[in-house]
């Protein structure tokens, strides 16, 4: 079974969270999925918004876990 890429962001939130997330996804291949764990109370609203803004699809969200697909280059 393919190893799932995962990143535990802890309680990181707001600009710090999405800036780091952007770097993590950029380092991945297009189409790959990153499982993000983010406990920040703003994450349920913020991560879907970031995905809509950047075009990286949000595959699934079950706070504090979010599966985000790297968009095609």
Which residues participate in catalysis according to the annotation?
14
Q: Is 50 in the site for other proteins (CB under 8 A)?
A: yes
Q: Is 57 in the site for other proteins (CB under 8 A)?
A: no
Cα dihedral sign, 14-15-16-19: positive
Q: Shortest approach of other proteins to residue 42 CB, angstroms? A: 3
CA–CA distance, 1 with 49 (Å, rounded to integer): 31
Q: Is 15 in the site for other proteins (CB under 8 A)?
A: yes
Phi, psi of 36 (to 5 degrees): -105, 130
Residues that bind other proteins (CB under 8 A): 11, 13-18, 40-43, 45-47, 49-50, 52-53
């Amino acid at each position: 079974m393919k190893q799932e890429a995962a990143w535990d962001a802890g309680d990181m939130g707001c600009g710090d969270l999405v800036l780091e997330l952007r770097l993590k996804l950029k380092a991945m291949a297009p189409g790959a999925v990153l499982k993000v764990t983010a406990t920040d109370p703003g994450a349920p609203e913020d991560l879907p918004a970031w995905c809509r803004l950047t075009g990286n699809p949000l595959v699934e969200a079950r706070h504090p876990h979010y599966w985000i697909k790297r968009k095609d280059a």
